[in-house]
Amino acid sequence: MAVGDAARAQGLPLIVHATTLREAKVAIRAGASLLVHSIFTEDVDDEFIQLVVDHDVIYTPTIVVGPNWTRAVASATLGTPNQADDPNGCVDPGTREKIANVAAFAPYLSDTQANEDQARARLAGISAQLDQAKRNLKRMYDAGAAIVTGTDAGNPLTLHGPSIYSEMEAMQDAGVPAADVIVMSTRNGARAMGRLDDLGTLEPGKIADLLVLGGDPSADVANFRKVEWVMRAGVMHAVSELSYDTPE
C-alpha cells in the first residue's frame, strides 16, 4: 500500500508481478493499473474478477513463461538439449547455442533442481499449470476484463521475438477467439504502454508498423508464424532480410 501511495504521489503507474490470488487482490487495492502474469495457483474468484473490471486493471496472462522455465531447468537436469521455436530464424546464433548447451547450466542448479525424479515430476505437472492459466484467462475474458498479450521474454526458453507465437496460440487455446487475441496483441498492447496515440492500430498519423502474413490470423493465430513481409515505420522488408539464417 505504501508503494501504491508513493507511485500516485509521483504520477507513476503501478505495475505488479502477481501470480497468486491474494497478492493480486492486494495489488489492485494498492492501485495497480496492470497485473503481470496469470494467477497460476488457483481459480480466480468473483471478488477478484470484480476488482479487475471495476478498476479497469489490465490483466497480462503470460501463459507459457512458467512452463518454459520448468522445461529449461529440467533439460539442464536431465541433459536434454533444447531448440528455439523460431520459424522465421530471428534468434541470434549465440542465443541458440546457449539454449542447446544445457550442460553449461548444470553447475548452477540447486539440490532440488538437480534431482532427476523431481525434474520429471515437474515436467509432468506442466499440463496442469497450463490448464490453470488458460482457465483463468477464459474467465477473465468472459467477464469483459482488459487483457493484453505479454510473454515475459528474456526468461529461459521464452525468447525475445518468437515467444509471441506460442503465447498467442495458448490464449486462443484457452477459448479466446483469434480476432480478440489480435486486439490483445496490438491495440491493447499499445494501451498498456500508454502509446495508443502512435501504436496499436492502423490509422492516419500513427507509425506504419504492420505484417503481411501467408494466412488469415483472425481464423487462427498460428498464421502469425507465416510472416512474409514486415513494415517498420513505413519501410517494407521481406522477412528473409531480417533472418539470421539469410546467407551473407
Asked if pLDDT for residue 162 goes beyond 70, the answer is: yes
Chain position carrying cell 518468437: 162
pTM here is: 0.93
All structural domains of the chain, each given as residue ranges with its CATH number in brackets, are: 2-201 (3.20.20.140)
- Asked if 31 contacts 7 with a C-beta cutoff of 8 angstroms, the reply is yes
Model confidence at 247, pLDDT cuts 50, 70, 90, reads: low
Q: E strand or H helix at 117, and its extent?
A: helix 116-124
pLDDT digits (tens, 9 = 90+) for 187-231: 999 999 999 999 999 999 999 999 999 999 999 999 999 999 999
